[in-house]
């Protein structure tokens, strides 16, 4: 039987292909961790949205910059970090896409979807000042700890 | 699978049968171009068949919203039909059922155009 992954760290280039790559990596890890297909899909989507955020807004599509993806298991939950090299942001500064005045906007739903598809979402300051998006998902089972 | 779309006519309605994923990059660009071409060809009644679209991300949703507003600005109508569960769930949680006219089947959709 293969040794289960405890921590996986991947450095991604700031390019569109990294979005699919990150999503696929996390989905494989989630499958191996025992999540059902629906939860695997949701985790994949959340990570996709996070990496798109890092690509578009954090790193502003600058190919010189990198995106760090980390997946780890702690206290019966899966924790994903997506760190960019931008200027960081605050979750409370993100407009509510469900507000009437924002429904016809063509962007701004990524953070909302990340929250919808994970148990907890937080943003911290990364080591170079960019955003460290932290997503937590309780492992299949009864126990869970806090996020980040 | 990258997004693909084929156009057919039902009376004066342009029906686009999409298949694949509507995501950031080729998928959303393809959707945008399809709508832009239809509008520039003077099409006022557009039905998007999403039966074979199994995945949409926030960028794809943004393109659908953009398509809706573009068609509306051109005094046209854009409707959706045959949403898969995953696409339906995304449109549901983003409150876009209050924006999009989603029809249950093609017959009902065709009847619903002005």
Give, for A124, the enclosing helix (H) or strand (E).
Answer: strand A120-125
3-state SS of chain B is CECEEEEEEECCEEEEEEEEEECCCHHHHHHHHHHHHHHHCCCCEEEEEEEEEEEECHHHHHHHHHHHHHHHHCCCEEEEECCCHHHHHHHHHCCHHHCCEEECCHHHHHHHCC
Does pTM top 0.80 for this prediction?
yes
User: The complex's ipTM?
Assistant: 0.92
Facing residue for B94 by CB, picked from A45, A107, A109: A109
User: Is B112 a member of any domain?
Assistant: no
Note whether B65 contacts A106, CB cutoff 8 Å: yes
> Is A106 in Cβ contact with B66 (below 8 Å)?
yes
Domains identified in chain B, total number: 1
Quick one: average pLDDT of A136-147?
73
pLDDT band at A146 (very low <50, low <70, confident <90, very high): low
Structural domain boundaries, residue B9: 4-106
Report how far residue A41's alpha carbon sits from residue A113's, in angstroms, rounded to the nearest whole number: 12
Query: Is B114 part of any domain?
Result: no
Question: Over the Cα atoms of chain B, what is R_g?
Answer: 13
- Say if B70 falls within a structural domain: yes
Mean pLDDT, rounded, for A74-101: 95
Kindly list the residues from chain A whose CB atom is less than 8 angstroms away from the CB atom of residue B66.
106
pLDDT > 90: what percent of chain A? Answer: 89
Give the pLDDT score at B94.
97
- Which of A44, A109, A110 to probe by mutation at the B interface, max B CB count within 10 Å? A109
Share of chain A above pLDDT 70, in %: 92
Task: Report if residue B16 sits inside a domain.
Answer: yes
**The pLDDT of residue A145 is above 80:** no
Position of tokens 């937590």? A136
**Would you call A110 and B98 a contact, using CB atoms and an 8 Å cutoff?**
no
Q: Is the pLDDT score of A1 beyond 50?
A: no
Element (H, E) at A37: helix A37-53
- CA B52, B6, B101 angle in degrees (round to 5)? 60
pLDDT at B79: 98
Q: What is the Cα Rg of chain A in Å? A: 15
What tens digit of pLDDT does each residue of B38-54 get? 999 999 999 999 999 99
Mean pLDDT of A45-64: 97
Q: How far apart are CA B60 and CA B56, in angstroms?
A: 5
Q: What is the CATH number of the domain that holds B102?
A: 3.30.750.24
What mean pLDDT comes out for the span B70-88? 97
Q: What percent of chain B has pLDDT over 70?
A: 100
Upper half-sphere CA count for residue A73 (Cβ side, 13 Å): 12
**Whether A116 contacts chain B with CB within 8 A:** yes
- In this prediction, residue B1 carries a pLDDT of 74
Q: Which domains does chain A have, with CATH numbers?
A: 9-138 (3.30.565.10)
Mean confidence (pLDDT) of chain A: 93
Is the CB of B62 less than 8 angstroms away from the CB of A104?
no
Specify if B95 maps to a domain.
Answer: yes
The CB-side HSE value for A128 (13 A sphere, CA atoms) comes to: 11
The confidence score (pLDDT) of residue A5 equals 65
């Amino acid at each position: 039987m293969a040794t289960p992954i405890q921590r996986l760290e991947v450095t991604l280039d700031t390019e569109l292909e990294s979005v699919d790559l990150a999503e696929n990596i996390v989905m494989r890890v989630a499958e191996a961790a025992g999540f059902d297909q629906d939860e695997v899909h949701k985790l994949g989507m959340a990570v996709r949205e996070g990496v798109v955020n890092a690509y578009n807004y954090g790193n502003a599509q600058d190919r010189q910059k990198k995106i760090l993806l980390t997946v780890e298991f702690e206290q019966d939950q899966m924790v994903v970090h997506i760190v960019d090299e931008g200027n960081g942001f605050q979750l409370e500064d993100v407009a509510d896409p469900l507000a009437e005045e924002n429904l016809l906007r063509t962007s701004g739903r990524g953070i909302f979807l990340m929250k919808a598809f994970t148990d907890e979402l937080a943003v911290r300051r990364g080591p170079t000042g960019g955003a460290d998006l932290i997503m937590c998902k309780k492992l299949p089972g009864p126990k869970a700890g806090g996020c980040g | 699978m990258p997004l693909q779309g084929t156009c057919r006519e039902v009376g004066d309605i342009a029906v686009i049968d999409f298949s694949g994923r509507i995501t950031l990059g080729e998928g959303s660009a393809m959707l945008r171009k399809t709508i832009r071409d239809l509008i520039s060809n003077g099409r006022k009644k557009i039905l998007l068949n999403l039966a074979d679209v199994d995945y949409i991300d926030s960028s794809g949703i943004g393109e659908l919203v953009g398509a809706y507003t573009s068609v509306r600005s051109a005094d046209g109508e854009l409707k959706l039909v045959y949403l898969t569960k995953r696409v339906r769930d995304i449109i549901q949680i983003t409150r876009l059922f209050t924006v999009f006219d989603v029809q249950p089947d093609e017959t009902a959709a065709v009847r619903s155009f002005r």
